[in-house]
Amino acid sequence: MAMGGTRFRLLFLTLQLLLISCAISSAKITLRFPSPTFRPESSSSVSIKSKLYETKYYTQILDHFTYTPRSYQTFQQRYLISYKHWGGAKQNAPIFVYTGNEGDIEWFTQNTGFMFENAPHFKALLVFIEHRFYGKSIPFGGNKDVAYANSSTLGYLSSTQALADYATLIIDLKKNLSAVDSPVVVFGGSYGGMLAAWFRLKYPHVAIGALASSAPILYFDNITSEYSFHSTVGNDFRSESENCYKVIKGSWQQIEDTAEQSGGLDTLRKSFRICKNYISAGALVSWLSTAFIYTAMTDYPTPSNFLNPLPAYPVKQMCKAIDDRKAGNNTLEKLYSAANVYYNSTGRATCFNLNDDSDPHGLDEWSWQACTEMILPIGGNNADSIFPPSEWDYAGRAQSCEDALGVQPRPNWITTEFGGRNIQRVLKRFGSNIIFFNGLRDPWSGGGVLQDISKSLVAIVAKEGAHHVDLRFSTPEDPEWLKHARRREVKIIESWLSQYYRSSSS
């Protein structure tokens, strides 16, 4: 059984996920993130095998911002809804809305246990809205060949259009349910968390608050250091073992040197059990780097299935594999054992495929967003990085986008549209009711809001937390710091709702 490092172009990671460039000597290696395997989180309290939601479609307008004939075209936007615990319109019971990420909404829904587990407490209606151009929410008659054809159609794929989609759908849904006075709270993780925060700022008349988990809204326009992302990855491994960190850091040159030797690629193929379809030094480096980056991102305290099946504290397990004395001084064998933690924790893979370009969850069109508005400068590696030194190469990104899609990026648009600079001062003047959760073991946390801005713009920072760990289904083995973070989030949302109901009755 072969298990592939599925890759998709210029992927962000939910955000999901982005282009990351790594230099080995003078060679530039583009690291492509793999598409996660669709295995929803399990939960002791909510069975994912039961019917958690109903699937519905909303007739959505193509373009919210112009009045040309084409803008009035429509498409079917998918959303998932659960009435199970809703207190109903007569009670003005709340509506919790997940602002969908860059992929199949079912994947994100089935990995967002926080909303399901707290719906009974709040008597909340749950709604998960799929992002346009992803999953089954495809404009132009649902025809991907047409929708993804070129910039004339892909031009309708943007965060601002998506936010307007969400606002339009929510308002219409509330009207149809006779629930116009039911308060709405939006939730999201990663790119979805960015959308949740921006939705609250752009549509405060629609949502009374937002929980934005692992939302790197400050990773634009050079607000955050280009070295931050990879520095966090390295620090995660270094915190477990100095030797582990040094072995990984020193491995890239060894891979390059081996590849250049006669028969070197065969040596690498055998060392890493690569299927006999394709191998190069660059592909192998990308495959290994992906494992280290994703493992750092999902360094959860309990077993998970979000990206790949992983044990609890997978960074620790990788370092155990690298530090194992049985491998002696064989660096390649140590790296293979570490990669198995991410790619083969089940033990069922007999070889690995480096040339798998499938996209099972509809994430591929992030390439368009990553070439237009989502320009996150995370490609730098300083001397302490676990990866070879390199600089963020905007010119290279722009040229790649021009070559692949015929489009030039707009690196300053996100901060123009949503802000970001001087966020403490700016949001204090007009923003309210947003929770920013970040785990400091998450490489994206460097671009997150890590300090309270006001009494209602709250930063919850978990030193041991990973990528939107707070939104996962809970387990009895969850550490106290995670339970505390979730209890605090619930308490804050309770205060928003209480304030809303008091102001509505006065």
- The answer to whether the beta carbons of residues 391 and 226 sit under 8 Å apart is yes
| 44: annotated active-site residue | no
244 CB-near residues (< 8 Å, 6+ apart): 237, 238, 318, 319, 322, 323
Q: Which of 190, 214, 286, 289 is catalytic?
A: 190
Q: Which of 165, 236, 393, 442 is catalytic?
A: 442
Nearest to 101 by CA among 137, 145, 64: 137
409 sits in the region (left: phi over 0; alpha: psi -120 to 50; else beta) called beta
Give the angle subtended at the CA of 78 by the CAs of 74 and 84, to the nearest 5°: 140
- The answer to whether the beta carbons of residues 288 and 426 sit under 8 Å apart is no
Residue 127: both structure tokens together: 């709604």
Q: What is the 3-state secondary structure (H, E, C) of 236-282?
A: HHHHHCHHHHHHHHHHHHHHHHHHHCCCHHHHHHHHCCECCCCCCHH
174 CB-near residues (< 8 Å, 6+ apart): 95, 180, 182, 184
| 190: annotated active-site residue | yes
Residue 306: both structure tokens together: 């979000």
Q: Which of 467, 468, 470, 474 is catalytic?
A: 467
Alpha-carbon span 343 to 314, nearest angstrom:
11
Distance (Å) of CA 187 to CA 16, 40, 98, 478: 15, 18, 5, 21
Nearest to 215 by CA among 181, 192, 234: 192
- The answer to whether the beta carbons of residues 194 and 212 sit under 8 Å apart is yes
145 CB-near residues (< 8 Å, 6+ apart): none
Residue spans of beta strands (DSSP E) within 322-433: 351-353
- The answer to whether the beta carbons of residues 234 and 386 sit under 8 Å apart is yes
3-state SS class at 238: helix
Q: Which helix (H) or strand (E) holds 439?
A: strand 434-439
Q: How many CB atoms lie within 10 A of CB 398?
A: 16
Nearest to 320 by CA among 241, 233, 387: 241
**Residue type, position 439, single letter:** G
Residues with catalytic function: 190, 442, 467
